[in-house]
Structure 1
Amino acid sequence: MASWAFWSFLLHAILLISLSAAATTTPFQNETDRLALLAFKAEITDDPLQALSSWNDSLHFCEWLGVTCGRTHQRVSALNLTSLSLDGPLSPHITNLSFLTAINVSKNRFHGRVPYELGHLFRLQQLDLSFNSFQGEIPAAISNCSKLLVVDISSNSLVGKIPSVLGSLSHLTRLSLYINGLSGSIPPSLGNLSSLNRLSLRRNMLDGSIPDDLGRISKLGFLQIAENNLSGTIPSSIYNLSDIFMFSVAANQLEGTLPWNLGLAFPNLELFYVSRNRFTGSIPVSLSNASLLQEVYFPNNDFTGGVPLDLGNLRFLRIFSVWGNRMGTGKAEDLRFVDSLTNCSNLQEFEFQKNRFAGPFPKSIANLSSQLHSLAIGQNQLSGSIPEGIENLVKLSTLYMNNNLLKGEIPAAFGKLWNLKELDLFGNKFSGKIPLSIGNLTELLELHLQENNLEGSIPSSLGNCRKLNLLNISQNNLSGAIPKELMGISSLSISLNLAHNSLTGFLPLEVGGLKNLREIDVSENRLTDEIPPALGDCTSLVLLRLQSNFFSGTIPSSLSNLRGIEVLDLSRNNLNGKIPEFLGSFPFLKNLNLSLNDFYGKLPDKGAFGDASVVSVMGNSDLCGGIPQLQLPECVIEAPKRRKKSFDLKVFIPVIAIALCLIFSLCLCAMLYRRRKSRMKLSSSYSMGRQYTSISYLDLHNATDEFSSSNLIGVGSYASVYRGSFASDKTIVAVKVLNLQRQGASKSFIAECEALRNVRHRNLVKILGSCSSIDFKGNDFKALVYEFMPNGSLEEWLHPKEEEGHKLRNLSLNQRLNIAIDVANALDYLHNQQGTPIAHCDLKPNNVLLDDDMVAHVGDFGLAKFLFETSNNFKTTDISSIAIKGSIGYVAPEYGMGGDVSTLGDVYSYGILLLELFTGRRPTEDMFNNGLSLHDFVKMAFPDRVMEIADPICNNVEGESQRVLECFASVFRVGIACSMTAPRDRMQMKEVTAVMIVIRDKFQGAGIYKQI
């Protein structure tokens, strides 16, 4: 009994001691967590939602918002403060919460460093700091948290390298570090993370290659390392990861080919992204074996070949995109794969634009999934018309068919695609009228119909598209007035472009309603009347182009409200009056063109008017003053007029009559004398004036070594050209001997004499003399003697012969730019700067000769024509002029249809020569048939693929590749504009010369330039 009492006492004693210990220990430990939480709160600098207002002594801390405590003890086990807009640093005091297993403070505004003290939380399993503004490096101490399952520090501003010690977290299942500034290589140690199933390192600055060790993470299903600077090839070990369902390496610099068994290696693949790399080869046929595929992105690589024909097996496919490659062979069977995609009932996005697919428009496109919302097939070589049934694609929101060879009428059925937001048909050969039904597309944001052959008037129903941001119907054959309904589309904010049509009437007064619009371009039309003052209400305008119309009157003062304007072009109109000073006060102005109007008076010299690279006022003959660089005459201040003395009309009138009779008689005698003298000179010789010499046949016979074949340097349609040297002064010349047995040779000789009689320019071949005589056999002989050009013709440099001495000839990019400018200068001189305008009519590389300094000289004026001004501002010959016989490939299209000769015909030839000069391709090559021309070839590549068509001899230029790309793009833009089919759509040579000089100077990095 005593024994029982003893043990009972002892047991109670132990119980009391335990209770006492518990009573003293638990409150102390709870106090540690409470104080840690309050210290965390104290460092929060902004709590706009008052989320931590409950963190006070009125509640136990286990009941505070975002705090979770364990059941068996009152210790904090989880902290979840996501999406509360909290601002401040992450307090290191959080590490005093030693029982923490999960921290989630994502989607706040935490900043500063990630505390290295987190490494003391040895119980931590989940760490989510994503979508904040943490800076600095990832603390390596995190690796001490050996129980971690999830580490997510994505969408912050972390820098430095990924700590290799993270590879020791053997339990880690997810590592997300995407959208930071991490650099260096991917640590191979990550291959030790055997439990990892999700790795996301997207959008950092990681470089180097993909470690082969990643292939050892057998459970990996989600691999996202896109948008870095990774290079090399994808290690073959990666294709052993059979659990992969998401694979993204997009936007790196990876290269090589994809394995043939891709679809077999990744049987669980659902999402596959390899866009924006340097992959080559073809798309693996085995892709269709990955039957779970939903999204496939191949854009912007260098894939070739065709698309697998059995993609229809991918029943879950939602997105298929292969745009921006070199796929397709140019044959109709390239598009057979489209037929198989009709089985993919979930297809939502289908994109194969910017490739080389050819053939007729696939009719099966109309049978694609009714779920399709994006269809992009532009920038290929598709032909034919759009088939019926396109309206079946009822959910389409974007439709891109631009830059193909499509023709026929735009289907009225497009008006049934109620959900369309973007419709892009530009750069095709569509004809007929713009369908009225387009006005039914009330959700439309952008409409691109430019560069087609559309005709008729602009339908007023387009005014029903009340959400339009952009409307471009330029470069068509549209006529009639501009509907005022267009001006009621107040949503227009990007661009309204109606340029290069034949629109008439006036610019509607309602234009002032477009208050949010940045660009208006109605240039190259036939608009009349005054510039509406309401344009001054369009205060958001950055670009305003009204050039090449028939606007009259003065510049409205209301335009002073356009304070954001950068480009203002009013050239080639009938505007008059004084140029207002406010035009010079626009703070952002880069290009002000007032050329070829009737402005008069003193030109301001303040603000923009003080910069000749910004302002152009040429062709206003009554302007004066301005800065010296504009080369205007000085303004003359007229003296006050004296009072005229009275005189007797009875005396004055007879005196004036007698004086006029005497003057008339003297003029008549002088005219008869000059005509007689001119006839005498023409009958004796065809010399071109006093500055040229009449050379004997004997001299030419001796100079050319009896016209030896060894001195023959060229043969043309009407003449042969010999190299000659005069014994008297050793002058080397080129002797052009006419083949008078050829019909038209004599006329060619006379034409060249007449054309060169009074012209002198550094970029025209200089003529030294002529000969009109008989040879030693008594036959008529005619020849012209020119300055010798030692570097031959441009033809020889662009297309050198294979024999010895020609293989190494090539032209640098700088040389080509200079040659293009030289030729433009020569044509501008012939068209605009000497007496009666002259059309060369046979511009081609053979007729462009190069001197010792590689300066280009235009020659061969055998087909040249004198022109006169007509009332419609076009320069043409008499209708009775002889037919043009220029060279195939360079002759303007209108000449082939019996059109009159004009300076714009030379512009066309120049455009083709310019495209040839920078592509290295003749316009007569075999590839240019079946409707494809050099102009179309360049136009289809413009502007994104210009380097693919550039002459490889001159596109390997040291320096910034972007600078070279911009140079080629700018040159091709000019070449395309000059070689347009319709003469009215072409540039004038004066403008061409100015633009080409800007392109060259910009490429060479000289000065500040206005927009090209």
Structure 2
Amino acid sequence: MEKIFYHFLQGLFLLYFVSASLAMTTTNITTDQDALLALRAHITSQGPHQILLKNWSVSSPVCQWVGVTCGSRHRRVIALDLSNMSLSGIIPPQLGNMSFLVSLNMSRNNFHGELPHEFARLRRLRVLDLDVNNLSGGFPEWFGSIHQLRLLSLNNNSFTGLISPSLANVSKLQTLSLSFNYLQGNIPTEIFKISSLELIFFQGNSLSGSVPDDMCRHLRRLKWIDLSRNKLNGQIPSSIYNCSQLQVLSLSVNHFTGFIPREIGTLKALERLYLYRNSLEGQILKEMGNLTMLKTFAIGANSITGEIPKEMGNLTVLKILGVGGNHITGAIPQEISKLCNLEELYLTLNNITGFIPMQVFNLSQIRTLSYRKPTFRRAFLNSNNLGGPIPDSISNCSKLKILELSVNNFTGPIPHYFGDLRHLEFLDLSGNNLMSDYSSSNTQLGWINSLANCKHLTVLGVADNPITGFLPNSIGNLSTLLEQLYAYKCNIRGSIPDGQHSG
């Protein structure tokens, strides 16, 4: 009998202990109110409207406070949106007591200091957006404890250290955005095993090392990955073909080496490809012509060789084609004229030879030609081996502001139609084999007369050409804005009026 009574007392004590423990951990709307008041107390300044100071008051229900959303069932705070309110201060640990919180957005403010580790208690949290603040400290290990997270965005802060492999525990994560911080070290391979990921933004850090060969093995839902402006090296993994839903691939401004994988040509959903400023070599593969959804193809400032394949003409929705600063040879393919949506074409600093296809200047949408319709604004074709006469079709480009044709092999007379380009601000024809349209050395240079119509011209370069003749009196009618005239290594004679400079 005594033994039964003893067990009864023991059970009663255990029941009391459990009940007391539950009572101590039970939270309610008052808990949420206290947490929010603690946050208000830690805010050192607000915008001119002082929203929180005026609105967050115990005289009104928490669920009516600005930025606060409560659930209809439990009447607990489920969302807090304080984005873009000009708030400054630190984030207090009491926010970790808001156990029903599903979404927390404090982006575009000036919160500073470290994130409180009490955030690990927010087990229902799905959205954590802290973009554009001044938060600091090491990358929190406890992010791996918030298993329900779908979006984690810490862009434009001052987080340091390594990305924690514990993120692999967040198996439902869809958006991982850590751009423009001070993160270092390798990208944990565990990140690439989160099969739910759709968006990865790591650009603008100091991440190093290579990406794993099987990077895309588990990322079948991935739509956008941006690893640009880091210190990553090694080769672009051929497993990229597994990311079949990929729309944007950005690896620019790193130290990637090797060839552009042929497998990129299988990414039929790809819209933007950024690989510029790396150490890539090899050729532009004809398989790139299979990417019929591609709008941007940017591989400039690498060590790419060979010719531009004619298959690039299949990319009829392409808006930007950038291959400048490589070792590309051969002629500009006629098929480029099929790119009816092209707006920007960058070909400068290569070894391109031959003539410029006249059709390029008739592309109706083009605005920047670096080698923008009659509305194209800038043309950079310098430092190639382009030859032949300057195409008459340039005269169609009535909105042209910058025309840079220096250091090529253009021949023939300098055309008079430049005077029809009334918006021209910069014209550089230096370093070619251009000449006057008259053979007599004592004849005035007629093409200068036409430039009097270019009322916005500030720079004119014709240096290092076999031009002969006299400067006409109309040189004084050139734009009053003309600042620099480069005519060295020519046989041009005459005087330049005061107020204009020559080089």
Q: TM class, shorter-chain normalised?
A: 0.7 to 0.9
Does residue 347 (structure 1) correspond to residue 318 (structure 2)? The answer is yes
CA contact (8 A) 1:89 1:110 kept: yes
CA contact (8 A) 2:220 2:244 kept: yes
Local SS of the residue matching 1:280: strand
**Where do 1:537-936 residues align within 5 Å?**
545-546=502-503
Percent identity over paired residues: 26
1:159 equivalent in structure 2: 160
**Where do 1:143-542 residues align within 5 Å?**
143-188=144-189, 190=191, 193=194, 195-210=196-211, 234-236=212-214, 238-239=216-217, 241-250=219-228, 252-256=231-235, 258-259=237-238, 263=241, 265-275=242-252, 276-281=254-259, 283-284=261-262, 286-301=263-278, 303-329=280-306, 334-335=307-308, 337-338=309-310, 340-366=311-337, 368-401=338-371, 417-427=373-383, 428=385, 430=387, 432=389, 435=392, 438=394, 441-451=397-407, 452-456=410-414, 461=419, 464-465=422-423, 468=425, 470-476=426-432, 477=434, 479=436, 480=445, 482-483=448-449, 489-490=455-456, 492=458, 495-500=459-464, 502=467, 504-505=471-472, 508=475, 513-514=480-481, 521-524=486-489, 526=492, 528-529=494-495, 532=498, 534=499
**Where do 1:57-96 residues align within 5 Å?**
59-96=60-97
Q: Which runs of 5+ in 2 are unaligned?
A: 1-26, 437-444
Local SS of the residue matching 1:461: helix
> Residue 118 of structure 1: CA displacement?
2.3
Residue deviations 1:771-795 (CA, integer Å, cap 9, x gap): xxxxxxxxxxxxxxxxxxxxxxxxx
> What letter is aligned with 2:430?
S
CA contact (8 A) 2:423 2:454 kept: no
Name the CA distance, whole Å, in 2 between partners of 1:512 and 1:382: 33
**Taking structure 1 as reference, are residues 430 and 342 closer, same or farther at Cα in structure 2, changes over 3 Å only?**
closer
Residue deviations 1:140-194 (CA, integer Å, cap 9, x gap): 3444444433322122111122334444444444332221001233345546756
CA contact (8 A) 1:487 1:514 kept: no
**Taking structure 1 as reference, are residues 140 and 529 closer, same or farther at Cα in structure 2, changes over 3 Å only?**
same
**Taking structure 1 as reference, are residues 485 and 155 closer, same or farther at Cα in structure 2, changes over 3 Å only?**
same
Name the CA distance, whole Å, in 2 between partners of 1:77 and 1:187: 32
> Residue 129 of structure 1: CA displacement?
0.6
CA contact (8 A) 2:452 2:474 kept: no
> What letter is aligned with 2:413?
E
2:39 equivalent in structure 1: 40
Name the CA distance, whole Å, in 2 between partners of 1:310 and 1:99: 51
Name the CA distance, whole Å, in 1 between partners of 2:28 and 2:225: 47
> Residue 62 of structure 1: CA displacement?
1.5
> Residue 392 of structure 1: CA displacement?
4.4
Name the CA distance, whole Å, in 2 between partners of 1:201 and 1:471: 40
Residue deviations 1:260-301 (CA, integer Å, cap 9, x gap): x754x44333333444434224642x5443333333344445
> Residue 354 of structure 1: CA displacement?
4.2
CA contact (8 A) 1:459 1:483 kept: no
> What letter is aligned with 1:419?
T
1:976 equivalent in structure 2: none
Number of equivalent positions:
456
2:134 equivalent in structure 1: 133
Name the CA distance, whole Å, in 1 between partners of 2:313 and 2:232: 34
Name the CA distance, whole Å, in 2 between partners of 1:457 and 1:237: 54
Name the CA distance, whole Å, in 1 between partners of 2:390 and 2:359: 20
Name the CA distance, whole Å, in 1 between partners of 2:169 and 2:33: 33
Which is helix-richer, 1 or 2?
A: 1
**Taking structure 1 as reference, are residues 38 and 497 closer, same or farther at Cα in structure 2, changes over 3 Å only?**
farther
> Residue 397 of structure 1: CA displacement?
1.5
> What letter is aligned with 1:37?
L
CA contact (8 A) 1:420 1:441 kept: yes
> What letter is aligned with 1:179?
F
Name the CA distance, whole Å, in 2 between partners of 1:113 and 1:464: 57
Local SS of the residue matching 2:244: coil
Name the CA distance, whole Å, in 2 between partners of 1:182 and 1:282: 27
Residue deviations 1:514-551 (CA, integer Å, cap 9, x gap): 29x6x65454554544651x45xxxxxxxx644xxxxx
CA contact (8 A) 2:87 2:109 kept: yes
Name the CA distance, whole Å, in 2 between partners of 1:185 and 1:145: 23
2:55 equivalent in structure 1: 54
> Residue 483 of structure 1: CA displacement?
4.7
Name the CA distance, whole Å, in 2 between partners of 1:262 and 1:141: 30
Q: Which runs of 5+ in 1 are unaligned?
A: 1-27, 211-233, 402-413, 536-543, 547-1012
> Residue 202 of structure 1: CA displacement?
2.5
Name the CA distance, whole Å, in 2 between partners of 1:353 and 1:321: 9
TM-score normalized by structure 1?
A: 0.40
> Residue 68 of structure 1: CA displacement?
0.8
CA contact (8 A) 2:101 2:124 kept: yes
Residue deviations 1:877-933 (CA, integer Å, cap 9, x gap): xxxxxxxxxxxxxxxxxxxxxxxxxxxxxxxxxxxxxxxxxxxxxxxxxxxxxxxxx
Name the CA distance, whole Å, in 2 between partners of 1:112 and 1:283: 43
Name the CA distance, whole Å, in 2 between partners of 1:116 and 1:239: 33
Runs of 4+ in 1 over 6 A off after TM superposition: none
**Taking structure 1 as reference, are residues 204 and 311 closer, same or farther at Cα in structure 2, changes over 3 Å only?**
closer
TM-score normalized by structure 2?
A: 0.75
Which is strand-richer, 1 or 2?
A: 2
> What letter is aligned with 1:279?
T
**Taking structure 1 as reference, are residues 112 and 32 closer, same or farther at Cα in structure 2, changes over 3 Å only?**
same
Name the CA distance, whole Å, in 1 between partners of 2:364 and 2:457: 24
**Taking structure 1 as reference, are residues 524 and 394 closer, same or farther at Cα in structure 2, changes over 3 Å only?**
same
**Higher RCO (Cα < 8 Å, 6 or more apart):** 2
> What letter is aligned with 1:314?
L
Residue deviations 1:740-790 (CA, integer Å, cap 9, x gap): xxxxxxxxxxxxxxxxxxxxxxxxxxxxxxxxxxxxxxxxxxxxxxxxxxx
Name the CA distance, whole Å, in 2 between partners of 1:183 and 1:360: 43
Residue deviations 1:195-246 (CA, integer Å, cap 9, x gap): 5554433321123344xxxxxxxxxxxxxxxxxxxxxxx3246446444444
1:822 equivalent in structure 2: none
**Taking structure 1 as reference, are residues 360 and 96 closer, same or farther at Cα in structure 2, changes over 3 Å only?**
closer
Name the CA distance, whole Å, in 1 between partners of 2:199 and 2:284: 31
CA contact (8 A) 1:438 1:461 kept: no
Name the CA distance, whole Å, in 1 between partners of 2:179 and 2:173: 17
